[in-house]
Structure 1
Amino acid sequence: MGFGFGDIYLVRDGEISRSLLNLTYLNILDLSYNSFHVTIPTFIGSLTELSYLDLSYSSFNGTIPRCIGSLRELRQIDLSNNSLYGTIPPEFGNLTNLQYLDLSNVGRCRVENIEWLSHLSLLEDLRMDGISLATTNHWVDAILSLPKLTHLSLGGCELSQVVYPYSSSFLNSSSSSSSIESLHLGNNNLNSSMYRWLLPLTTNNLCSLDLSGNMLDGIPKYLGNLCSLVSLNFSDNSAIIKFLDFLTNLSGCTSLTLADLSAYGSQFTGSLSDEIQKFSSLDYLDLSDNHLNGSISEKLWELPWLQTLDLSFNNHRVPSTYHLSNISYVKYLDLSSCKLLGPRFPKWIHTFKNLYHLDLSNTGISDTIPLEFWDVWPYPLTYLNLSSNNISGKVPDLFLIFDAYSVIDLSSNSFYGPIPKFSFEMESINLSRNKFSGGISFICQAVYGFLLFLDLSHNSLSGQLPDCLWNFDSLTVLNLGHNNFFGRLPPSIGSMIQLQVLYLYDNNFSGEFLISLDLGANKFSDNVPVWIGENLSGLNVLILRSNKFFGTIPLELCHLANLQILDLSMNSLHGSIPSCLSNLTSMLHQGGFSQDVLFYERIRGYATRAGIYVDQALIEWQGVEREFFSTLKLLKAIDLSSNNLTGQIPYQITNLSDLIALNLSKNELSGEIPQKIGEMINLEILDLSRNSFSGRIPSSMSHMSFLNYLDLSYNNFSRRIPTSTQLQSFQPSRYNGNAHLCGPPLTKKCPGDEPELPPIIGKSEGNREDTDDELMGWFYIGGGMGFVTRFWIACGVLLFNRRGRHAFFQFYESFKDWVYVKVVVFIANLQ
């Protein structure tokens, strides 16, 4: 670690060595980008010669030690991006030589009294993003006392108001003049009243202003007179604003200097009119996700310096033809989810010779793409998205059109013909949901590449997978589902060492099993290979349902500690259920998949791995096959149904306390249900039907308050069904085929169950039977209503919302008590 005296390493096993105390002459200490997970050691305060201290991005926790105030020689200090908490110590005011102070995103910290800031008269750069200033009403005074301050960042500081008029004498002193060039006030709670105190901070020195993420209903005209303003961020403001009024207030000398205008996710209305031509310096314009309508002015394309334009997710009507007098220099163009005038493909796109990023997805195009479209690019594209239209035609080979690490998405159209040959140096290719046909043997021409994402699903592709998949050792997502591929999976599929999602559903693959995430609904016939558990330790989902696997369930599957979905249903497996399934620890704890899978987000023409790929799987849920998408990662389920399994349910399986669905139906299992099954308190689906279970239904099941689907039918259960609102709320058919079972909701009464009701005044004995029937009717109506309510809520909004489920069933228990009181009052009234 460099400290200014050569490379000295004083970090061992995640801790900072006290031998730093012997280096009191140090003037530079940089411990950034480590993983200490410890408090900032107080002995740092002894390094009194330090002029530079950087502890950023190092997972420090605890509070900021007051001893930092002893480092009076400090010129720069950076504590950003840690996990600290508590009050920012006022001892920072002792650092009178400080020029740079970065406390942004330090954790859950706050400032209670900001007076210490006014002592830092040499400060030039102050960053306090994420520090709570909610109780500090005089921070403007403190800022104005810093004559050399040029950069101020207070994003997400819970700013809402400032005491006005100002309480100190700073505004009246000759020193209270702002030299701020960059001001960031985004993501606070500011409304337009803030402009009265913003004015002293926004002199003509101001170059960059960020007002995003507030509640502003426009901008004042004085901002249009800031003749040095180059960048303005007005994004994510919640008030409705006429865009023409916004431009008019900026139309002073600011219109000649403004190069960067971001206003995405606001509430702009009106059209993009000719007024935009006044902003002749615009280089970057982002008006996406607003409510703009009408036609886009042709003057927009004539802005001489405009290179980045994002108008996506508006109600624009984009003409299919433009008469452009000059060549546009736009490089980044996003018109996605706007509507083109007419369904024709816009030929004016051909005049944009400098494009590297083009997004026309979901724009209502219904046309054949002209062949010249693929020939007009003098420079390779890095991003092309034409998805979710109705574009037809053949796609030529893409070798020369796209650059390395580029992204193409032509999904959900009507393209046909063979899959176009593409460069394996691309990063993401999505050609799904089209009419492409033929094979994909051309992929063997790849020698190496960077391809991470390939989706060819929902086409008419056929043939065998070529045995050259070792060329795709970087591939993370491969989706070939819903095609006509057949034959065995090639051995080289095992060389795809980075693969996280493999989707081959609905093909005609056969032969021995090799490697999988979801290989359901094929014709694989073999033992479930033990190396799945030995080599795929990071697997979250294993779905082999509806194949021809035979043999026993291998114990090695118990090594898959991250597994949350295990579906081996509809095969020919035999033997017992392994007791070691209790080792699937992800089913013991709340939470979703521990690791994210590749997802591409478009940022300035580059593909970035910024989130998760929305996986999908067909799973039997409450007796019906359903397709899960974004909620898949929250599901925790075991489905071993429709096999030939024998023996008892291992009692260890009851340790899977966070399991949501357990389906063991249609096997040859026997014995009693484990008595502790009620400890699986999060179970919502339990299906043990069509086996040979016997004995009592465990009384602990009365505590399973989240059950909304239960099927115990066609077994050999006996005795009384345990009493609980939950178990009695299910239809009697869920208990059918158990000849010795009795008690509600079955009509068969248990021995000694004849109720003795008190005599009813004014009623004959013959009327008592009518009363009994009426009471029983009330009971079943209440139970039925409860079941219907729970069923639809559980299957709908609350299916994967744990907090919602708990809140609902707390309500349900209260509702149950209310029904009980009503029944008692009803009986009393009858008497």
Structure 2
Amino acid sequence: MLPSCFGNLTSMQILDLSHNQLSGNLAWSPLTRLTALEELLLSDNHFDIPISLVSFFNHSKLKVVEGANNRLGDQVEFQSRVPRFQLQVFVLSNCWSNKSDLKFPHFLYHQYDLGTVDISHNSLVGTFPIWLLENNTLLEVLSLRNNSLTGPFLLPSHPNPHASIVDISGNHFDGQVPTNIGLIFPNLWILNMATNLFEGQIPPSLGDLHSLQILDLSKNNFSGPVPEHLAIGCSSLSFLRLSNNNLSGQIYPALSNLTHLEFLYLDNNQFEGKLPNSLSTLTLSVLDVSNNHISGKLPGWIGNMRRLKVIMMLSNHFEGPIPVEFCKLDDLEFLDLSDNHLSGFVPSCFNSSSIKHVHLNQNNLRGPWTHAFDNCSSLVTIDLSDNNLSGTIPGWIGRLSSLNILILKFNQFEGKIPGEICKLKSLSLLDLSQNKFSGLIPPCFSDIPFNPTDQYSFRITTTGITIAGRFQRTSVVVVGSPMPSGEHRRGPNLDYEHQLAAVQNQVEFTTKHMSYTYKRIVLVYMSGIDLSCNHLSGEIPPGTGYLGEIHALNLSHNNLTGSIPTTFSQLKQVESLDLSYNSLNGGIPHQLIELNRLAVFSVAHNNLSGATPGQKAQFLTFEESSYEGNPLLCGFPLHNSCTPTSTVQKDQDEEGEDGGFVDMEAFYVSFSVSYVIVLLATVAVLIINPQWRRVWFQFVEVCMTSCYYFALDSFRKVLNKRSV
């Protein structure tokens, strides 16, 4: 809390308390008595700041209020009251509030000198405040990003040549973008309208924004072609993202006029035709045309774009071989050509030390995997799945020390799984399923930690945008660009970094009998092994049970023999364990009930015997299909109950005692006591009842006589035979 003595500093003009851990409600703080304040900087604290600023309405000299990354406190706003101050800078972004109906601050209606307004990331509701633009003709920066504002995006009737940044992304604005937007904001540097509900065509007047450097219209419902005037007029563009719309037609060759363009995102639209050769003149760092209908062969001229770091062309209709010219891209870090119709061999010339992620899956690539990527020491991801690749896994793969993801499923690979894979200490996802691998499972797999890491993430950040000089008469400046001439407005030190989150690594991995696409933070925490549908034989190495970090293990549809290792009880993180369709024998280790995270389990179609783990822990949820095809298995959830022998064996497993089902010591004691009781009861009956006693003695005498003569006759017959 601020000490009350702050209220005595009545001559204070500039107060900077930012980047601390101060708290308290600003409406009741001693700062409300500092009427000489001109600048109040409170960003990055724990203050409760009322968005209405009613407690500061008497501060006639107040010009700057910056309170980003705090909390919006409760305070009633009296619309009849007019503040005495005229703010030039109002920044109250990313402030948490427990209100779901927080409205746009009404006191801004009485402000006519604003140069910067940033109230982004606050979940504000209501319609677009057109009066804010009408009243503040010198407004430079307007950021309403990530709120809940609705309705159409309205523009003032008069131009605003001072506006440099307009960011209304992440709201619910709908309708069409005003066709005169290029006339109202002729000197914009940044226009971000992404993630809204805009529809119709992109206004051609955007081509009049000759100073525009960043344009983001992604995640809307725009349709039709890209205006050619946009490509011709916005010659200063360095960042253009039109992703996730319904744009159609061909990609205009006129894009070659954007000589400063570094980031081009046209993904998730309906573009068709071929890539125009004119794009080869651009100095792109990122080219993303994925999820369209672009056809033809991959152009070799891409190899001349030596600054390319990211190539995203997945889910199109490209055909033919991968051009060897791609190997010239020494700075390439991310290559995704998946889900096309590419054919031929994987070029062996890929030896760039900078490349990190390679996705060539879902194509028609064929032939052996020889030397492609053998010197790519920075590789994190290799996905060659769903092709017709053959031969063996090259032994040099053990040199890829940074490799996290190796996906080779649905190919024709054969031979043994090389032990060199065990040298990949960073490996987290290994999928060799649906191939022709044979031989044993390498015991050295237990040497791989299979710990997920954050190397899966991949981001690129554009150049920052800075409004320089808190009270110097400067304009918005893009770092690395020349300062515009002339004196304009005063602004805060506001850094605007545009994250290119659209470039992200993602892979498909099968677990829990389903194929999932893992990306973003989910991929960071996923790890697993899939060796299913091969010709692997021999026993499961006991060391496999010590892979305690994996979430999925699939060894199904092989020729594995032997028993299920009891060490599998150490797979504490495993959620899916599939050992079905093998030739495993013996019992199911009762220790598996310790796997508390297990959601899917299958040992179907083996030669297992004995009792199932039964109705215990996670095994209570597994159905009969998890055990079917093992006629010697019994117990829940199977219909055949276990025999006593099976029960004895089950209890031996559970109790670990050599005595089996019956306690022999107790048996001997109970038998002796029972025998003595029966004997004494018989004697007592004979003593009490004389008739039964006579009958008993007669019976004994007859038995003794019969036995005597039987023995005597038998003895005589033996003597006669000997004499003969």
- Name the residue aligned to 2:251: 395
- Name the residue aligned to 2:509: 619
Deviations 1:397-450 (A, max 9, x none): 46743355721111111212211324463221111111111122333551632x
- After superposing the two structures, state which structure 1 stretch, 649-658 or 212-221, moved more: 212-221
- Name the residue aligned to 2:14: 150
SS in 1 for 2:273: strand
Residue 214 of structure 2 is aligned with which of 357, 379, 397? 357
Question: How big is the shift at 1:665?
Answer: 0.8
Q: Please give the alpha-carbon distance, in whole angstroms, between the structure 2 residues aligned to 1:465 and 1:523.
A: 15
Q: Please give the alpha-carbon distance, in whole angstroms, between the structure 1 residues aligned to 2:584 and 2:88.
A: 77
Residue 555 of structure 1 is aligned with which of 372, 394, 419? 419
The amino acid of 1:329's aligned partner reads: N
Q: Please give the alpha-carbon distance, in whole angstroms, between the structure 2 residues aligned to 1:163 and 1:347.
A: 47
Question: How big is the shift at 1:328?
Answer: 1.7
Residue 671 of structure 1 is aligned with which of 562, 586, 589? 562
- Name the residue aligned to 2:632: 740
Residue 384 of structure 2 is aligned with which of 504, 512, 519? 519
1:108-147 aligned at under 5 Å gives the runs 136=1, 138-139=2-3, 141-142=5-6, 145=9
- After superposing the two structures, state which structure 1 stretch, 606-615 or 454-463, moved more: 606-615
Q: Please give the alpha-carbon distance, in whole angstroms, between the structure 2 residues aligned to 1:300 and 1:455.
A: 41
Residue 342 of structure 2 is aligned with which of 468, 485, 498? 485
- Name the residue aligned to 2:194: 336
Residue 751 of structure 1 is aligned with which of 643, 653, 669? 643
- Name the residue aligned to 1:259: 115
- Name the residue aligned to 2:655: none
Question: How big is the shift at 1:180?
Answer: 6.0
1:276 matched to 2:168? The reply is no
Deviations 1:140-197 (A, max 9, x none): 524755967834133462513379586xxx999xxx7755634124452515399577
Q: Please give the alpha-carbon distance, in whole angstroms, between the structure 1 residues aligned to 2:28 and 2:242.
A: 53
Q: Please give the alpha-carbon distance, in whole angstroms, between the structure 1 residues aligned to 2:579 and 2:384.
A: 25
Deviations 1:274-300 (A, max 9, x none): 452221221111112223333333317
Deviations 1:69-104 (A, max 9, x none): xxxxxxxxxxxxxxxxxxxxxxxxxxxxxxxxxxxx
- After superposing the two structures, state which structure 1 stretch, 652-661 or 605-614, moved more: 605-614
Question: How big is the shift at 1:573?
Answer: 0.7
Rate the CA distance shift 1:401–1:246 in 2: closer, same or farther, 3 A.
farther
Q: Please give the alpha-carbon distance, in whole angstroms, between the structure 2 residues aligned to 1:296 and 1:575.
A: 66
- Name the residue aligned to 1:767: none
Q: Provide the aligned length of Structure 1 versus Structure 2.
A: 599
Q: Please give the alpha-carbon distance, in whole angstroms, between the structure 2 residues aligned to 1:701 and 1:571.
A: 29
Q: Please give the alpha-carbon distance, in whole angstroms, between the structure 2 residues aligned to 1:323 and 1:520.
A: 47
Q: Please give the alpha-carbon distance, in whole angstroms, between the structure 2 residues aligned to 1:181 and 1:543.
A: 57
Residue 304 of structure 2 is aligned with which of 439, 446, 450? 446
SS in 2 for 1:365: strand
SS in 2 for 1:443: helix
Deviations 1:429-473 (A, max 9, x none): 111111111122333551632x22111111111111111223222
Q: Please give the alpha-carbon distance, in whole angstroms, between the structure 2 residues aligned to 1:550 and 1:607.
A: 48
SS in 2 for 1:437: strand
Q: Please give the alpha-carbon distance, in whole angstroms, between the structure 2 residues aligned to 1:436 and 1:599.
A: 25
Rate the CA distance shift 1:448–1:369 in 2: closer, same or farther, 3 A.
closer
The alignment-based identity, stated in percent, is: 25
Question: How big is the shift at 1:552?
Answer: 0.9
Deviations 1:582-622 (A, max 9, x none): 121134xxx54356323557965897667795322222222
Q: Please give the alpha-carbon distance, in whole angstroms, between the structure 2 residues aligned to 1:141 and 1:650.
A: 72
Q: Please give the alpha-carbon distance, in whole angstroms, between the structure 2 residues aligned to 1:731 and 1:521.
A: 32
Deviations 1:677-698 (A, max 9, x none): 1121222111111111112211
- Name the residue aligned to 1:564: 428
Question: How big is the shift at 1:644?
Answer: 1.0
The amino acid of 1:639's aligned partner reads: D
Deviations 1:98-127 (A, max 9, x none): xxxxxxxxxxxxxxxxxxxxxxxxxxxxxx
The amino acid of 1:441's aligned partner reads: P
- Name the residue aligned to 2:702: none
Q: Please give the alpha-carbon distance, in whole angstroms, between the structure 1 residues aligned to 2:195 and 2:242.
A: 11
Q: Is the 8 A contact 1:274 1:300 kept in 2?
A: no
Question: How big is the shift at 1:740?
Answer: 2.3
The amino acid of 2:413's aligned partner reads: F
TM-score normalised by L of structure 1: 0.66
1:226 matched to 2:90? The reply is no
The amino acid of 1:532's aligned partner reads: I
Q: Is the 8 A contact 1:277 1:303 kept in 2?
A: no
Question: How big is the shift at 1:242?
Answer: 4.2
- Name the residue aligned to 2:410: 546
- Name the residue aligned to 1:731: 623
Residue 454 of structure 2 is aligned with which of 587, 593, 608? 593
1:269-308 aligned at under 5 Å gives the runs 269-299=126-156, 302-308=159-165
The amino acid of 1:732's aligned partner reads: E
Query: Unmatched 5+ residue regions in structure 2?
Result: 374-380, 466-477, 479-495, 648-724
SS in 1 for 2:23: coil
The amino acid of 2:335's aligned partner reads: L
Deviations 1:783-807 (A, max 9, x none): xxxxxxxxxxxxxxxxxxxxxxxxx
1:506 matched to 2:362? The reply is yes
Q: Is the 8 A contact 1:381 1:401 kept in 2?
A: no
Q: Please give the alpha-carbon distance, in whole angstroms, between the structure 2 residues aligned to 1:657 and 1:271.
A: 53
Question: How big is the shift at 1:392?
Answer: 1.6
TM-score normalised by L of structure 2: 0.75
Q: Please give the alpha-carbon distance, in whole angstroms, between the structure 1 residues aligned to 2:54 and 2:229.
A: 56
Question: How big is the shift at 1:331?
Answer: 2.0
Rate the CA distance shift 1:224–1:371 in 2: closer, same or farther, 3 A.
same
Rate the CA distance shift 1:570–1:349 in 2: closer, same or farther, 3 A.
same
Query: Unmatched 5+ residue regions in structure 1?
Result: 1-135, 756-831
Q: Is the 8 A contact 2:178 2:203 kept in 1?
A: yes
Rate the CA distance shift 1:351–1:447 in 2: closer, same or farther, 3 A.
closer
The amino acid of 2:624's aligned partner reads: P
Rate the CA distance shift 1:414–1:603 in 2: closer, same or farther, 3 A.
farther
Q: Is the 8 A contact 1:569 1:641 kept in 2?
A: yes
Deviations 1:299-347 (A, max 9, x none): 176123111111223333344533876672122111223344x623312
